[in-house]
Amino acid sequence: MTAAAKPWMTEHRKPRVVIIGGGFGGLYAARALKRDDVEVTVLDRTNHHVFQPLLYQVATATLTPADIAAPIRWLLRKQRHTTVLMTEVTDIDVERRTVTTSSAGALPYDFVIVASGARHAYFGHPEWEAVAPGLKSIDDAVEIRQRILAAFERAEACTDPAERAALLTFVVVGAGPTGVELAGMIATIAHHGMVEEFRRSDPSRARVLLLEGGSRVLATYPAALGARARRDLIALGVEVRTGALVTSVTADAVQVGAETIPTRTVIWAAGNAASPLGRMLGAPLDRSGRVQVAPDLSVPGHEELFVIGDLAATATDGRPVPAVAPAAMQMGRHAAHNIRRTLEQRDRLPFRYRNKGDLATIGRYRAIADFGRFTVSGVLAWWLWLLLHIMYLAGFRNRLSVLLEWAYSYFTYGRGSRLITGRGHERAASSTPALEPKW
């Protein structure tokens, strides 16, 4: 943008900032604009912000959806200049500076922040999604919870030993943090959480497999931590297989090389693909569809257009910024600050990712943490993880409420959350559809 008169000056109105996505990036961008003399519109296709790092606890019935999600408009209710709309973005016209939505018409903008994140990628096998759901949203988590719990229920009702064994086999594909956390928690609830509740089947004999195509567990962490995580998972009863490339996923089995693993529950944690909105920006994309942004997080040639979070490809000191919540939050704040600097006719600043540490939990009482200069593992790392997550959840629900819920859930193995709900399973592929609850 040149120093020439800006549209909002000639039109005597406030600059319009449209933010697409109410995840960590979008929410933190909106919050950072709290005191600025602008008009902010936040668009999301759901009505709620999700604390994604705890989504796996909803998927494994330890926390309930309401524990980790809150309405976006509630979170931003005190910003009188901010409007939140639940709608689908169908187009972004970067030349006319307009965002087209499915229900709120076309919204003109002076600045736009695209923070629409990523979905799962199935490596050219989109048909696997129906049988192997991934974990990005509350609906995903409820779907996975429903599948895991229904498998135990079916195993109890079932009279055929082979079918029962397949029902009690849980396969998690991908040994990144999400896969490790899911596999650890499934093993924990199966082997400890529900044993006394079943009469005909034995949940403690459930098999939990963690299949990783690469050679390491937690490949983005230091090798020693990955090895520790592997040992902890094995101690929890998870069968960890690295170099295990999945070649087929059906409603009945997973194929790994020559081996067929009969299973009725597969969870996908193996890959991400950036939001399709990235392709509408006319900007260069990387291999996974992320937008290659300039150091100030804008798209080259469009300084009014910012891309942040999992949809943005950028680097700090030559190292790619990872697709994690803290990076999205930092980018959200940074994009907001650069909009402010532009309005104040000051130079923009380049984004630098400050990695405060990476954490992953294994089961109920163990975790690993990488703080760059040092690493922590085991129970101490778990307490660190717990403290950090409760701190970040602030503003969401009150911390005490989550802490109590959590303590209660851990103590009772989350039985309060063990509800099989949702009609979504009707569309799921299943070898025994008649067993599903019908209304």
Contact with a copy of itself (CB under 8 A) among 53, 65, 309, 363: 65
In whole angstroms, the minimum distance from the beta carbon of 84 to a copy of itself comes to 8
Which residue lies nearer to a copy of itself by CB, 247 or 421? 421
Stretch that binds a copy of itself, among 24-32, 66-74, 254-262, 269-277 (CB under 8 A): 66-74
First-to-final CA distance of the chain = 58
Handedness of CA 402, 408, 411, 413 (dihedral sign): negative
Q: Is 24 helix (H, G, I), strand (E, B) or coil?
A: helix
Closest to 203 measured CA to CA, from 152, 161, 163: 152
Q: What span, in angstroms and rounded, lies between the C-alpha atoms of 334 and 29?
A: 8
Which residue lies nearer to a copy of itself by CB, 27 or 359? 27
Q: Report if residue 408 touches a copy of itself, rule: CB under 8 A.
A: yes
Q: Kindly give, in sequence order, each residue whose CB lies less than 8 Å from that of residue 201, ignoring residues fewer than 6 positions away.
A: 152, 155, 156, 158, 164, 168
In whole angstroms, the minimum distance from the beta carbon of 248 to a copy of itself comes to 24
Q: Report if residue 70 touches a copy of itself, rule: CB under 8 A.
A: yes
In whole angstroms, the minimum distance from the beta carbon of 422 to a copy of itself comes to 5
Stretch that binds a copy of itself, among 46-54, 170-178, 309-317, 355-363 (CB under 8 A): 46-54
Contact with a copy of itself (CB under 8 A) among 86, 113, 236, 362: 86
**Strands laid side by side in the 246-249 sheet:** 246-249, 253-256, 259-262
DSSP string, 227-256: HHHHHHHHHTTEEEEES--EEEE-SSEEEE
Q: Report if residue 166 touches a copy of itself, rule: CB under 8 A.
A: no
Q: Report if residue 13 touches a copy of itself, rule: CB under 8 A.
A: no
In whole angstroms, the minimum distance from the beta carbon of 50 to a copy of itself comes to 9
Stretch that binds a copy of itself, among 139-147, 212-220, 303-311, 328-336 (CB under 8 A): 139-147
Which residue lies nearer to a copy of itself by CB, 165 or 420? 420
How many CA atoms lie less than 13 Å away from 413 in the CB half-sphere?
A: 14
Decide: 427 and 143 in contact? Cβ < 8 Å. no
How many residues bind a copy of itself (CB under 8 A)? The answer is 73
Which residues inside 312-371 make contact with a copy of itself, applying CB under 8 A? none
Stretch that binds a copy of itself, among 91-99, 225-233, 265-273, 411-419 (CB under 8 A): 411-419
Q: Report if residue 85 touches a copy of itself, rule: CB under 8 A.
A: yes
Backbone angles phi, psi at 275, to 5 degrees: -55, 140
Which residues inside 370-399 make contact with a copy of itself, applying CB under 8 A? 397-398
Q: Report if residue 142 touches a copy of itself, rule: CB under 8 A.
A: yes
Decide: 283 and 298 in contact? Cβ < 8 Å. no
Binding mask 415-434 for a copy of itself (x = CB under 8 A): xxxxxxxxxx-xx----x-x
Q: Report if residue 14 touches a copy of itself, rule: CB under 8 A.
A: no
Known active-site residue 181:
yes
Q: Report if residue 158 touches a copy of itself, rule: CB under 8 A.
A: yes
Decide: 50 and 25 in contact? Cβ < 8 Å. no
Q: Report if residue 126 touches a copy of itself, rule: CB under 8 A.
A: no
Decide: 268 and 120 in contact? Cβ < 8 Å. yes
Q: What span, in angstroms and rounded, lies between the C-alpha atoms of 328 and 49?
A: 13
- Measured in whole angstroms, how far is the alpha carbon of residue 221 from the centre of its chain? 18
Which residue lies nearer to a copy of itself by CB, 71 or 357? 71
In whole angstroms, the minimum distance from the beta carbon of 218 to a copy of itself comes to 27
Selecting among 181, 212, 304, 405, the annotated active-site residue is 181
Q: What span, in angstroms and rounded, lies between the C-alpha atoms of 46 and 58?
A: 17
What is the crossing angle of helices 379-393 and 399-412, to 10°?
140
Instruction: Give residue for tokens 């025994």.
Output: 432
Q: Is 177 helix (H, G, I), strand (E, B) or coil?
A: helix
Closest to 322 measured CA to CA, from 378, 367, 372, 283: 372
What is the crossing angle of helices 177-188 and 223-235, to 10°?
20
Binding mask 181-220 for a copy of itself (x = CB under 8 A): -------------x-xxxxx--------------------
Stretch that binds a copy of itself, among 12-20, 148-156, 345-353, 377-385 (CB under 8 A): 148-156
Which residues inside 26-45 make contact with a copy of itself, applying CB under 8 A? 45
Stretch that binds a copy of itself, among 248-256, 286-294, 318-326, 413-421 (CB under 8 A): 413-421
For the annotated catalytic residues, the residue numbers are 181
